[in-house]
Structure 1
Amino acid sequence: MRQNISTGTEWEDKVGYSRAVRIGNHIAVSGTTAVDSNGTIVGKNDVYKQTLQCFRNIEKALKQAGSSLKDVVRTRTFITNIENWEDFGRAHAEVMGGIKPVATLVEVSKLIDPDLLIEIEVDAIIGSDNNKSLD
């Protein structure tokens, strides 16, 4: 059974995607940026703050799908300047350090908005024994 998770943003219908898709105990969360519920970019010029906001948004989608960060088994991160890897790494470790998913970090030339510095997608499998939340 397939469950599509939506945030209700205009982009999902315009581009034809879901924030997350759950099939069985697997959840894939699409590329997620540091935009809050009002559509405002959080942490302009700050990779650390943007990374934390990405994970807040990811966590919200996972909860809608009946999961949590504890079930994340893979993170894929796209960063516009690889020299900022340490700020990303610090935030990633704060959120995912106790979970320790496999992780990929790739530099890209740009994201959809020049103020966005980072985009993260995750895969989760429900049933992990770890427990981590941003709450």
Structure 2
Amino acid sequence: MDTRRSWSGSPWEERAGYCRAVRVDDRAWVAGTAPFADDGSVVAPGDMAAQTRRCLEILTQGLADVGAEPGHVVATRMYVTDITLAGELSEPHREAFGGNPPAATLVQVAALVHPDVLIEVEAEAVVRDR
């Protein structure tokens, strides 16, 4: 069994004992990804579209680190603190996956890791040799 892991460098990974992405054989998972900048600040407080784009940038890098890409993603789960802003995350999600849209779940939650975080995204992928 071939296992690969990647870390984004987030302090949360070490504190909580997880990694950004894991791939086992042809399956890959990306942990819940919040819209943090490299300096630890929250990207674009109040802007769902910008936060979604940042989450998907981090998620895409996690995939790449384990040899996967957005076209391999078969499912995403998005957790938001305000479901009324859901329309604002649609375009960034569609742009990220292009002609290979995954199954997607959207759930409203009471809170996320920081009060300014509006969204967290996780993904599952299946990597097939072409």
Q: Confirm or deny a common fold (TM above 0.5).
A: yes
How far off its partner does 1:12 sit? 1.1
How far off its partner does 1:128 sit? 7.6
Quote the residue 1:133 is aligned against: none
How far off its partner does 1:41 sit? 1.5
SS at match of 1:35: coil
SS at match of 2:120: strand
CA distance in 2, matches of 1:119, 1:25: 24
Partner amino acid for 2:125?
A
Quote the residue 2:81 is aligned against: 80
CA distance in 2, matches of 1:92, 1:53: 11
TM-score, L = length of structure 2: 0.93
Give the percent of matched residue pairs that are identical in Structure 1 and Structure 2.
Answer: 34
Alignment of 1:35-114 (within 5 A): 35-114=36-115
Partner amino acid for 1:4?
R
CA distance in 1, matches of 2:115, 2:129: 36
Q: Please list the CA deviations of residues 10-57 of structure 1 after superposition, one character each: whole Å capped at 9, or x if unmatched.
A: 211211111111100111000001112222221210000000110000
Partner amino acid for 1:85?
A
Change (3 A) 1:128 1:102: farther
CA distance in 2, matches of 1:14, 1:104: 27
Check whether the contact 1:22–1:65 (CA below 8 A) recurs between aligned residues.
yes
**Structure 1 unpaired stretches of 5+:** 130-135
CA distance in 2, matches of 1:79, 1:39: 20
What value does the CA root-mean-square deviation take over the aligned residues?
A: 1.4
How far off its partner does 1:102 sit? 0.3
Quote the residue 1:10 is aligned against: 11
**Structure 2 unpaired stretches of 5+:** none
Quote the residue 2:121 is aligned against: 120
Quote the residue 1:30 is aligned against: 31
Count of aligned pairs between the two proteins: 129
CA distance in 2, matches of 1:102, 1:62: 17
